[in-house]
Structure 1
Amino acid sequence: MDGRRGRRWGMARRVLVGVGVVVLVVGVGVGLALFQPWRLVTTRTADEVLLVPTSVGAVVVPPPSSVVAAVPSVPPAPSVPPAVPVGPVALASGVFRSLEHATTGSATLVRLADGGHAVQFEGLDTSDGPDLKVYLSDKPSDAAESAFGSGFTSLGELKANQGNQVYAVPASAALEDVRSVVIWCERFSAGFAVAPLERA
């Protein structure tokens, strides 16, 4: 009897160990899929053509005075309405403020020649992470981080955590309400960074 009982206990123990190993493997797999810890040390870089160059902190250099020549006086031309710019025009811009992760770079809201809109990131440098999205937010950039999880228009997945990149803005977006652009981790409801979109 004792031998049979011992064999049964040995079999039960092997089954328990097997179940424990399976649970551990599944748990590790699920944890890796959710947290993707390798993204803490990976880098994805984008190098898209910017719609408008150097949107924040640009310096306009006047021409040297030596090349300015006297212009003979002519009668004033009849007044005409100013021409509407035909190319992309920067409407609002700002530099990123770090939230959960140190971030640098700038964001610019651009009106396109066809009347559409886009947002460009210039010189972005932030951490990589899982499930990162780009939001246009109706909250000011100095709002609490948790506020950016609502009242937004999604521009889709963050293309890369470094470099220049451009995102199309849906025609349905209420741009009059937009006050900032946010890099947001949807999986963990955490903000990586936010930039104000201050009207130019």
Structure 2
Amino acid sequence: MARTWLSIRVELVSGHGADLWPRPGRVFAAARSHSFAQLASAIDLAFGRWDLAHLHLFTLSDGTHASLLDWWDGEAPEDTVDGHTTKLSRLQAGEQFAYVFDMGDDWAHLCTVGERHIDPFDEFGETPDRPVPYWGWGSLPDQYARRWDGTMGSRRCRSGRPAGSATCLRSCRGGANTAENDLTLCTRGGRQRGVEVLSRSGRMAR
């Protein structure tokens, strides 16, 4: 098989209020025909997340966002395309972009597209039907910063919608740092979130 797949390096920059150093990371093999939604799922699983009922947001180098529009109830940030239908073919070699999972805990990732394409058969002996990690390093933090069973987790949604959906964010109440405020910050400053992640990498020209 020809070397047509993308190699995407993903580093976990920060989350749960803390910057991570050294940064744990994974390198993914992904076809250009795969979607951003598929890449998001692969990243979340590879970084050990089990509660996936949260919003996520990609910010590309041109400021375009990609996310699951049906989760936002019409309140997605401007310039957001649907992650289900938008393909990775829009990525260019060497491009850097940001991925944020859970707008409350802000698990922020720096993603870098490799300069060279790869052959998935060389890595896996087959052609996967979704993006798959083929290299990795570092210690992964718990999604809710829990160190043992029984530790209290993050807020819970009482609306019956997935935690992190726009409807849930309007209905949840969690003290001063409410999920409703999280949505406002993300909606008004979605692009800025991505720019901050890329800027903290120290490798993106402003």
TM-score using structure 2 length? 0.30
Q: Larger relative contact order (C-alpha < 8 A, sep ≥ 6)? A: 2
The structure with the greater share of residues assigned to strand is 1
